Structure formats: C-alpha cells, structure tokens
Amino acid sequence: MNSVTMSFIVNLDVPDLAAAEAFYTEAFSLRVGRRLGPGAVELLGGPTPLYLLQSDAGSAATEHGDVRDYERHWTPVHLDWVVDDIEAAVVRVVAAGATLEQSVRERRWGRIAVLSDPFGHGFSLIQFSGEGYDALVE
C-alpha cells in the first residue's frame, strides 16, 4: 500500500479580521506570516499555520442556506491549546478578550479550561500531567 504524506492547516472564519488578528496574536503569541489579500491572514508560531478568513455574519456558509453566525456556538471541531501553565494562560487569553466558560478542572491526564474567543468559537486550554493522555490507556 502506498503511503500518502499529509499535513493540515486550520482555517477560522471571523467577522472582523483586524480584531481576530489582535486577539490571536495577543492571546497565543502567534505572529503574522503572510497577508493573503484583504480578507485573509496567516498566523504562525503554533504547530500548524492558522488562517483567519474574513467572512461576514449572515453570509452564505453552505449551498443549503446556512449562514454564518458569530454568536456563541458549539461545534464538534475546536482547538485545544496545550500550555505549560494553565492559570497564566487563562489570565492571558481572558485579558485578550476570551470568555471563560468552565474554570480549570483536574482530569487523570492533566488540567483543562474551556473558553470561547470573541467570535463565538470555543476552545480549550490543556496542561498535561506527566503521563498526559497515556494515563487513559488501558
């Protein structure tokens, strides 16, 4: 069987590109890579590039009539940011504009806090223990 080399990037729709750039660079110490025209910016400094894409609220999201809504929404796909100091990370991202939705909680594998960005996208901060997810392996 032939193997296929793959990687991934993350694209995130936002209603205000300048505000999203400010949030993600302040909250996560990302830096601007390339500007891809007036409606997209590449942020670097994480394990994969994060592309912020200007997409106005109410604009078509699918061919079936779904439209973009930037109120707080739930999606099964979200970003987990792995950090060394979860308390400091919570302070930093909240100061940048995030909303803390679930305070830091202990798990067998480490600690987690659940937040949302200023554009309604949920994300988590994770601080792994020594074993990390290996603590869950049976």
Predicted confidence (pLDDT) per residue in 117-137, tens digit? 999 999 999 999 988 888 888
CA angle centred on 53, ends 55 and 9, rounded to 5°: 140
pLDDT in tens, the chain (138 residues): 677 878 889 999 999 999 999 999 999 999 999 999 999 999 999 999 999 999 988 888 888 988 888 888 877 888 999 999 999 999 999 999 999 999 999 999 999 999 999 999 999 999 999 888 888 888
Do the Cβ atoms of 127 and 111 come closer than 8 Å? yes
* pTM summary value: 0.86
Backbone angles phi, psi at 131, to 5 degrees: -85, -25
Is 82 among the domain residues? yes
Is 118 among the domain residues? yes
Residue 88's domain comprises 10-136
What is the spatial order of strands in the sheet that 10-14 belongs to? 10-14, 50-54, 40-44, 31-35
Is 37 among the domain residues? yes
In whole angstroms, give the CA distance from residue 61 to residue 65: 7
Is 5 among the domain residues? no
- CATH label of the domain that carries residue 24: 3.10.180.10
Q: What total of structural domains would you count in the chain?
A: 1
Is 2 among the domain residues? no
What is the spatial order of strands in the sheet that 79-82 belongs to? 79-82, 122-128, 110-116, 99-107
Is 73 among the domain residues? yes
In whole angstroms, give the CA distance from residue 48 to residue 92: 21
Is 21 among the domain residues? yes
